[in-house]
Amino acid sequence: MEIMEGAFFPWPDTNLPPGLSVWAYGVQLVKSDGTMLRSGSRRGAAIRLVTHGEGFLQIGGEEYALTAGSLFALRPQVPFVFGEKPGVPWQFYTCQIGGEGLEEFLSALNLLPERPIARVSDMEKACRCFSTLMDYYALPQKDAWQAAVLFLELGKVLRGRNLQNLPVTHGELVRRATRVIHDQIEAGIGVDNLARMLHVSRVTLNRVFQAELDMPPGEYLRQARLRRAKYLLTVSDQKLSAIAAESGFRNEKFFYRCFKKATGFTPRQWREKQP
C-alpha cells in the first residue's frame, strides 16, 4: 500500500523563463508500508531522496543499498528495480525533471549514469526544499519564474556542501571524466569545469589522469577534440567553422592552429587527402 501526495506544473513552453534548460514538472512525497517493489523504465527522469526506512536500487548491473539520506536518479529508458526492505516502511520525495540540461544537472549532483546515487548530509534542509517546491506547485496560480527559483534552490542544496560524494577509485573517476568529456565536448568543456562537475579539485584530477592515462586531463581533452574534428572532416562536408564549434574549439582560428600543430596539415588539407 502506498500513500502519495504531490503536485505538478505543466510547464508550457511559452511560459518557460528564458535560458532555463532543466525544470521540475512534478514533486511528490511517497509513503509505503514495507511492501513496495517496482521495476521497469521511465519515460522521463526523476531524482529521489529517501527520508525514512531502508531499501535497494538495482540499475546498470549494480545494486545499491538505500537508507535515509540516499539520493538517487532514474534516467529515461534505463531499466531499474527498486524497493524497500521487507517490513521496514520507507518514505521518499520524488521530483520529475526534464529539459535539454538534464544530464548536466544530474552530473552536477554527482548522479552519474555509472553510479546514480549519493548521500545528503543535511536532511532537514533538503526535505524543506522538496516540501516548499511541492507546496508551491499545489497552488492554483503559479509563476514559472518563482517555480524555477525554488527548483534551482533545491539543486543548490543537493549539490553544495550538503552532498557527500561517495568514494570512488582512480579508475572510476577517470571513466566518469572521460564520459563527461565526450558528452560535453561540443560545449567546449575545460579542465576547471570538468573538475567542478566531478566534485574534485583540479590538482586531484591532474594527478589521477597522470597516474591512469599517463597524461593530464587537458591533453586528453585536446586529443578528444582533434579526434572529433578528424571524424567530421572525413565524413561530412560541413564548413570548418561548424566543425571547430562541434569539436569544442573556441573559434576557427584556434582550431586551425591546434590542428596544424598536431598533424602537420591544415584542416582543409587533411580533408582533401582523405580517400
pLDDT digits (tens, 9 = 90+) for 62-91: 888 888 999 999 999 999 998 888 878 889
Mean pLDDT score, 216-220: 94
Query: Whole-angstrom Cα distance, residue 172 to residue 143?
Result: 41
DSSP designation for 160? S
CB 32 within 8 A of CB 89: yes
Residue type at 262 in one-letter notation? A
CATH number of 2-164: 2.60.120.280
Mean pLDDT score, 92-118: 85
pLDDT tens digit sequence for 7-19: 676 654 445 555 5
Question: Superfamily assignment of 170-275 in CATH?
Answer: Homeodomain-like (1.10.10.60)
- Residue range(s) of every CATH 2.60.120.280 domain in the chain: 2-164
Query: Whole-angstrom Cα distance, residue 143 to residue 15?
Result: 9
Among the listed residues 109, 115, 117, 116, the one whose alpha carbon sits nearest the alpha carbon of residue 199: 109
What is the Cα 271 distance to its own chain's centre? 35
Coil vs helix vs strand at 114: coil
Q: Grade residue 200 by pLDDT with cuts at 50, 70 and 90.
A: confident
Helical segments of the chain, H only: 102-108, 123-137, 144-159, 170-184, 191-198, 202-213, 217-235, 240-246, 252-263, 267-272
CB 196 within 8 A of CB 155: no
**DSSP helix, strand, coil percent of the chain (3-state; round to 5):** 45, 25, 30
Among the listed residues 162, 173, 72, 60, the one whose alpha carbon sits nearest the alpha carbon of residue 121: 162
Give the C-alpha distances (Å, rounded to integers) separating 39 from 68, 79, 87, 115. Answer: 21, 7, 19, 18
- Residue range(s) of every CATH 1.10.10.60 domain in the chain: 170-275
Name the residue with higher pLDDT: 165 or 200: 200
- The C-alpha cell at 107 is 552530473
Name the residue with higher pLDDT: 109 or 253: 253
What is the Cα 36 distance to its own chain's centre? 27
